[in-house]
Structure 1
Amino acid sequence: MSEETSTADLRAQMPGAWARFRKSYLLYSFKRDPVAQLCLLIFIIITIAAFGAPWWAPTDPYDLTGIDIMNSELPPMWLDGGDAAFPLGTDAQGRDLLSTILYGTRVSLLIGFGAVAMQCVLGILFGLLAGYFGGIIDATLMRLADIQLSFSTLMVAILVGAIVKASFGNLMFGQVALILLILIIGIAEWPQIARTVRASVLAERSKEYVDAARVMGFRAPRIMFRHLLPNTLSPIFVIATVQIANAIISEAALSFLGLGMPETQPSLGSLIKSGFDYIQSGAWWITLIPGAVLVVLVLVINLLGDWLRDVINPRLHKG
């Protein structure tokens, strides 16, 4: 009974997760980096604005009954001919550009986070298996990763998109475009995370705590996910942050090529594409304003990824 009491007292004296976070080097570094603070603030504002679009967007771009073609290509309200009802102007279909950007940013973020989530699932699983077991499993998975890296995301998207369009038509492609893009980008980019996890597991599997877990009779799945995986999370966080920006860019490129989201369900990439043909006619805002939002979003994510990498790997500053 005394041992149980002493153990309970010891656990009670241990600081909680919030207390450890307040004393962590991560928060210490964040408080002293104004660029990281500004980037996180901008990212939070964009994310809240995008996912809250149904509540505060002036109009619903998916509601065709609320769109008037007579309002097409109106300039932003600060230019001659602008209308205060459309602060950023309208596109060629007469949709309010501000509302369309909010909804489109939400779609781009969903694709970015969804694709990276799939990359992490596949990359962590294959990386743990390759690093822990080695041998033929390691060789097979890494050769599969090499083959996967030889095919670009655009090439995979062209092949899959052509097959889906030929099989189900454009209507079906539009309905499943969001899920399809998440699958394409996620499957195309998993080898980077897998290789990082494998390298970390190779460095950890020969340490004493892993040998102790084997001696205690723990099975391989428990050793991999309960003991090895927590020690590989730091580089995964860095890669995942950067990969979110890469996934958003990939979606924009695919949409610009006509292989991404349809105009009826816009993303930032499809918005840029839909207005590209109207630049020469003077309606520059249809492309440039969504393009500016895309650039800012990708920039702040990349800067946050660079900051996180420097915090997790402070030895990089010594080079």
Structure 2
Amino acid sequence: MSIQDPSSPTTWRRFRDSYFLYRLQRDRRAQICMTLFVAMMASLLLTPWLAPSNPYDLAQISLLDSELPPLWIAGSDPAHLLGTDAQGRDLLSTMLYGARVSIAIGFGAVLVQSLLGTALGLLAGYRGGVIDTLLMRMADIQLSFSTLMMAIVIGAVVKAAFGGAFYGDYGVAILILIIGLSEWPQYARTVRASVLAEKQKEYVDAARVLGFSNYRIMWRHILPNALAPIFVLSTVQIANAIMAEAALSFLGLGMPETEPSLGSLIKSGFDYLQSGSWWITLLPGLLLVALVLVINLLGDWLRDTLNPRLHRARHEDSR
């Protein structure tokens, strides 16, 4: 049994003394964004207990309550704080459940694209030659098209091949794969650039001299030193994946109205703007904008925090 040195710092102490926490304590905008992000994530995890009703339970929905305005407008119902949609569902509940779906698709899509892009970028950067050329040309071809265009093409093919019923039953998984397959070149190019810089360093030469396999050198030695750009890119890609899901749902290639995401909620209320029921579209749209804005601001702050060149430049300027 190993005995831990009492003088060695604990995990909490290392976190307390980390540059990450140091920057966070001195950046008011980052603190506000971090607080909002944690509050959003907590509310989404607690949605079954926070939501006034379950929008998936038909017994809790009445068409007689359709298009009720929010509480601050005449004709509202105190039981529905933000009003109801055209189907009589409580809008606050559908927004909470819809945001959970959007967040799940965002994180799932980033997981798919990060795993695929990291593996291909690591292979291309380390092996080089024909493999590098082939993978990067594939990435360049895909990057020549917009992410939304690629997602629309893949989504339309899947929907035509398997039918609308299959698409609706496995909508979350299908959207995760569609968005993930549309964005992997971002990770591949980022990881490849880091690998090209890392494989020239002495620790890689030492690993080769010791007889380590290429697999172990790539995954055990080079990859851990190339994780910082991946973390920064992932924060931005989560916001992009959420926006891509909203766009696909608005175009009819995303989640069905029976299992609402923020995108499908915006689409479902778009036809009622002319009738004066603006809240059905506007309120989910504001939540989507707030969620994407907070994630993007956190991503920008994290990029600056994890950039050692920026730290060095600021330190030299302050001297």
Bin of the TM-score, shorter chain as denominator length: over 0.9
Structure 1 position 18, deviation (Å): 2.6
2:91 aligned with 1:107, yes or no?
no
- State how many pairs are aligned: 313
Structure 1 position 314, deviation (Å): 5.2
Structure 1 equivalent of residue 298 of structure 2: 304
Structure 1 position 315, deviation (Å): 3.6
Structure 1 equivalent of residue 218 of structure 2: 224
2:47 aligned with 1:63, yes or no?
no
Counterparts of 2:257 and 2:122 in 1: how far apart (Å)?
40
CA contact (8 A) 1:157 1:259 kept: no
Counterparts of 2:9 and 2:245 in 1: how far apart (Å)?
43
Q: Which one is further off, 131-140 or 144-153?
A: 144-153
2:156 aligned with 1:157, yes or no?
no
2:6 aligned with 1:20, yes or no?
no
CA contact (8 A) 1:104 1:267 kept: yes
**Secondary structure, in 3 states, of the residue corresponding to 1:35?**
helix
Which residue type is aligned with residue 142 of structure 2? Q
2:280 aligned with 1:268, yes or no?
no
Match of 1:246 among 230, 240, 248: 240
Counterparts of 1:73 and 1:246 in 2: how far apart (Å)?
31
2:198 aligned with 1:193, yes or no?
no
Percent identical residues: 66
Q: Residues 67-122 of structure 1: CA distance to partner in whole angstroms, max 9, x if unpaired?
A: 10010000001110011100000000000000000000000000110000111101
Counterparts of 1:308 and 1:193 in 2: how far apart (Å)?
17
Counterparts of 1:122 and 1:282 in 2: how far apart (Å)?
46
TM-score normalised over the length of structure 1: 0.94
Q: Residues 176-227 of structure 1: CA distance to partner in whole angstroms, max 9, x if unpaired?
A: 1111111011111011111111111111101111111111111111111111
TM-score normalised over the length of structure 2: 0.94
Structure 2 equivalent of residue 76 of structure 1: 70
Match of 1:53 among 47, 53, 65: 47
Structure 1 position 13, deviation (Å): 3.8
Which residue type is aligned with residue 235 of structure 2? T
Counterparts of 1:315 and 1:221 in 2: how far apart (Å)?
30
Counterparts of 1:12 and 1:204 in 2: how far apart (Å)?
34
2:5 aligned with 1:33, yes or no?
no
Counterparts of 1:160 and 1:210 in 2: how far apart (Å)?
39
CA contact (8 A) 1:76 1:87 kept: yes
CA contact (8 A) 1:115 1:247 kept: yes
Structure 2 equivalent of residue 207 of structure 1: 201
Q: Residues 218-239 of structure 1: CA distance to partner in whole angstroms, max 9, x if unpaired?
A: 1111111111111111111110
Provide the aligned C-alpha RMSD in A.
1.8
**Secondary structure, in 3 states, of the residue corresponding to 1:282?**
coil
CA contact (8 A) 2:151 2:182 kept: no
Unaligned runs of 5+ in 1: none
Counterparts of 2:218 and 2:14 in 1: how far apart (Å)?
25
2:176 aligned with 1:176, yes or no?
no
Which residue type is aligned with residue 77 of structure 1? L
CA contact (8 A) 1:153 1:184 kept: no
Match of 2:251 among 257, 274, 277: 257
Unaligned runs of 5+ in 2: 315-319
Structure 2 equivalent of residue 124 of structure 1: 118
**Secondary structure, in 3 states, of the residue corresponding to 2:234?**
helix
